[in-house]
């Protein structure tokens, strides 16, 4: 039935998207600071602490901290998910020490004036092996391939299909998580529609100006089979293969795209992809 259900997708005014950009920039600043902190010897709790400081410095609140309580989960204890190597997503910050050669996915969000920001990056800790580097790059490129399809008139399935095709276009097979998807975002962190990282083109809700979508591929070097640890959060690959996660939050504007969680609004990368930038000059 879900294909027939009319999802109420929140459509924002340009003023509202500008308000949400403030949250997006705070999140971008926090991720940049956490990238600097992701050095050998740092713990995943250290990374989270940096994220807290950036939120506090902007009087932003966390949309991650305490999340899940409404869904019967243990309230999420961090402002970021810090997921190392075989941890795909939702790694709880703690005593784990980053080692040279690790990859660490940091998913982070914040709320400013009621508007939500949400973004993720995978950082390389020192020098990483070539497979890990490829995984990180393939995952990031697939996020942008999806963003490039988030244009008015397309459908959500066009994004999903582009992400999948991009991931599987490198002459080897990667695992793509099925259980977790991208999502709408606005006055809440998770809104309709779901944005899967695989699927058929020309399906799903029509994309219109005023929507804001988080596009967030989660990709592994091995199988897509995952397990959740007893903490009810940490998601690991069953085959212990490494995973990467990239996420950006993109506003659909009448004349193009505005990537709210990129410092330049996505200008440079959209130009490279031949996609119109739709944010302010
Ligand atoms: N921000 C994640 C997402 O991209 C969800 C984080 S779950 C939380 O959808 F509990 F950590 F907040
Ligand atoms: Co998200």
For 205-228, give one letter per residue: b (16+ CB within 10 A) or e.
bebebbbbbbbbbbbbbbebebee
- CATH number of residue 200's parent domain: 3.90.230.10
Q: Is residue 216 lining ligand 1, measured as CB closer than 6 Å?
A: yes
Residue-averaged pLDDT of the chain: 97
Tell whether 5 is covered by a domain.
no
pLDDT at 3 over 80: no
Tell whether 7 is covered by a domain.
no
pLDDT digits (tens, 9 = 90+) for 212-224: 999 999 999 999 9
Tell whether 180 is covered by a domain.
yes
Q: Is residue 107 lining ligand 1, measured as CB closer than 6 Å?
A: yes
Q: In terms of residue numbers, what domain contains 157? A: 14-273
CA–centroid distance, 216 to ligand 2, in Å, is 6
Tell whether 172 is covered by a domain.
yes
Q: Please say whether the beta carbons of 5 and 236 come within 8 A.
A: no
Tell whether 9 is covered by a domain.
no
pLDDT digits (tens, 9 = 90+) for 77-131: 999 999 999 999 999 999 999 999 999 999 999 999 999 999 999 999 999 999 9
Residue 118 CA, closest ligand 1 atom number: 1
Overall pTM surpassing 0.85 (yes/no) = yes
Tell whether 59 is covered by a domain.
yes
Residue 183 CA, closest ligand 1 atom number: 9
Tell whether 281 is covered by a domain.
no
Q: Residue 37: which pLDDT band, with cuts at 50, 70 and 90? A: very high
Structurally, how many domains does the chain consist of? Answer: 1
Tell whether 61 is covered by a domain.
yes
pLDDT digits (tens, 9 = 90+) for 146-159: 999 999 999 999 99
Q: Is residue 233 lining ligand 1, measured as CB closer than 6 Å?
A: no
């Amino acid at each position: 039935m879900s294909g027939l259900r009319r999802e109420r997708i929140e459509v924002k005014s340009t003023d509202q998207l500008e308000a949400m950009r403030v949250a997006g920039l705070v999140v971008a600043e926090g991720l940049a600071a956490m990238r600097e902190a992701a050095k050998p010897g740092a713990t995943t709790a250290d990374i989270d602490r940096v994220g807290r400081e950036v939120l506090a410095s902007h009087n932003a609140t966390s949309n991650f901290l305490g999340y899940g309580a409404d869904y019967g989960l243990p309230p999420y204890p961090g402002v970021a998910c810090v997921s190392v190597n075989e941890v795909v997503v939702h790694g709880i910050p703690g005593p784990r020490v980053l080692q040279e050669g690790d990859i660490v996915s940091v998913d982070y969000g914040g709320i400013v004036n009621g508007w939500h920001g949400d973004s993720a990056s995978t950082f390389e800790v020192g020098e990483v092996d070539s497979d890990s580097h490829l995984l990180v790059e393939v995952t990031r490129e697939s996020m942008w391939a999806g963003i490039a399809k988030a244009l008015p008139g397309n459908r959500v399935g066009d994004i999903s299909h582009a992400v999948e095709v991009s991931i599987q276009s490198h002459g080897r097979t990667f695992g793509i998580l099925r259980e977790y998807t991208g999502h709408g975002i606005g006055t809440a962190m998770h809104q309709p529609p779901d944005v899967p990282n695989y699927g058929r083109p020309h399906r799903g809700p029509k994309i219109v100006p005023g929507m804001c979508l988080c596009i967030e591929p989660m990709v592994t070097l091995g199988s897509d089979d995952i397990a959740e640890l007893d903490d009810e959060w940490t998601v690991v690959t069953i085959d212990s293969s490494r995973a990467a996660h990239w996420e950006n939050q993109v506003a659909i504007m009448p004349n193009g795209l505005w990537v709210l969680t990129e410092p330049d609004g996505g200008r440079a990368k959209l130009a490279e992809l031949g996609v119109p930038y739709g944010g302010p000059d």
